[in-house]
Structure 1
Amino acid sequence: MVKINENFLKLPGGYLFPEIGRRVRAFSAEQPPMPLIRLGIGDVTQPLAPVVIAAMERAVEEMGRKETFRGYCEETCCAYDFLRFAIQRSYKEQGVDIADDEIFVSDGAKTDCGSIGDIFGLDNVVAVCDPVYPVYVDTNAMAGRAGSYDGERWTDLVYLPCTAENGFFPDLPEGGKVPDLIYICSPNNPTGGAATREQLKTWVDYANAHGSVILYDSAYEAFITQPGIPHSIFEVEGAKTCAIEFRSFSKTAGFTGVRCAYTVIPKELERGGARLRDLWNRRQGSKFNGVPYVVQRAAEAVLTPEGQEQTKEAVAYYLNNAKVIKEGLSAAGLTVYGGENAPYIWAQTPGGMGSWDFFDLLLKKACVVTTPGAGFGPSGEGYVRLTAFGDAEETRSAVERIQSVLK
Structure 2
Amino acid sequence: MVNQHFLELQGSYLFSEIAKRRSKYMEQHPDANVISLGIGDVTRGLPQAVIEAMHQAVDDMVNPSSFRGYGPEQGYSFLVDAIITGDYHRRGIELSNDEVFVSDGSKCDVGNIQEIFSQDSIVAVQDPVYPVYVDTNVMAGRAGGFDTALGRYKNIVYLDCSADNDFKPALPTERVDLIYLCYPNNPTGMTLTKDELKVWVDYAIENDCLILFDSAYEAFITEEDVPHSIYEIEGARQVAIEFRSFSKTAGFTGMRCAYTVVPKELRGRASGDNLVSINELWNRRHTTKFNGVSYVTQKGAAAIYTPEGQAQTKELIEYYMANAAMIRDGLQEVGFTVYGGVNAPYIWLKTPNNMSSWDFFDFLLKEANIVGTPGVGFGTCGDGYFRLTSFGSRENTEQAIARIKKLSF
Question: Which TM class, normalised by the smaller chain length?
Answer: over 0.9
State how far apart, in whole Å, the 2-side matches of 1:197 and 1:17 are. Answer: 32
Equivalent residue for 1:404? 406
CA distance in 1, matches of 2:231, 2:333: 38
Task: Tell me what 2:41 maps to.
Answer: 43
1:21 aligns with 2:27: no
1:242 partnered with 2:244: no
Alignment match, 2:136: 139
Percent sequence identity over aligned pairs? 56
Residue in structure 2 matched with residue 159 of structure 1 by the alignment: 158
Separation in 2, partners of 1:181, 1:250: 25
Q: Where does structure 1 differ by over 4 angstroms across 4 or more consecutive aligned residues? A: none
Structure 2 residue matching 1:222: 3-state secondary structure: helix
The Cα shift of 1:167 comes to: 1.6
Aligned-pair distance for 1:34?
Answer: 3.6
Partner of 2:192: 195
- Counterpart in 2 of 1:355? 357
Counterpart in the other structure of 1:82: 78
User: Deviation per CA, 1:33-89, whole angstroms, max 9, x where unpaired?
Assistant: 640000000000010000000000000000111111001113xx5211111100110
Match of 2:272 in 1: none
Matches within 5 A, 1:174-193: 174=173, 177-193=174-190
- What is the CA RMSD across the aligned residues, in angstroms? 1.0
The partner residue of 1:268 within 265, 269, 273 is: 265
Deviation per CA, 1:262-313: give whole Å up to 9, x if none: 0001111112211101100000110001000000100100111211110110
> Which residue pairs with 2:116 in the alignment?
119
1:197 & 1:406 partners in 2: Cα distance? Answer: 41
SS at match of 1:68: coil
Residue in 2 aligned with 1:54? 52
Normalized against structure 1, the TM-score is what? 0.97
The one-letter code sitting in structure 2 at the alignment partner of 1:173 is: P
Letter in 1 for 2:218: E
1:213 aligns with 2:210: yes
**Helix, strand or coil for the counterpart of 2:65?**
helix
Deviations 1:227-248 (A, max 9, x none): 1210000000110000000000
Q: Report the Cα distance in structure 2 between the residues aligned to 1:18 and 1:165, rounded to whole angstroms.
A: 31
Q: Partners of 2:28 and 2:91 in 1: how far apart?
A: 51
In the alignment, structure 1 residue 326 sits paired with structure 2 residue 328: yes
Distance verdict in 2 for CA 1:173–1:78, change over 3 Å:
closer
1:310 is aligned to 2:308: no
* Unaligned residue ranges in structure 1 (runs of 5+): none
Separation in structure 1 between the aligned mates of residue 31 and residue 77 of structure 2, nearest angstrom: 53
Counterpart of 2:259 in structure 1: which amino acid? Y
Work out whether 1:298 is the aligned partner of 2:286: no
Partner of 1:227: 224
Partner SS, residue 252 of structure 1: coil
Of 385, 389, 392, 1:390 maps to 392
Match of 2:282 among 255, 262, 280: 280
Q: Normalising by structure 2, report the TM-score.
A: 0.97
CA contact (8 A) 1:189 1:344 kept: yes
| Equivalent residues, number | 401
Distance 2:203 2:248 in 1: 30
**Could you tell me which residue of structure 2 aligns to residue 257 of structure 1?**
254
Equivalent residue letter for 1:119: I
d(CA) in 1 for partners of 2:352, 2:223:
29
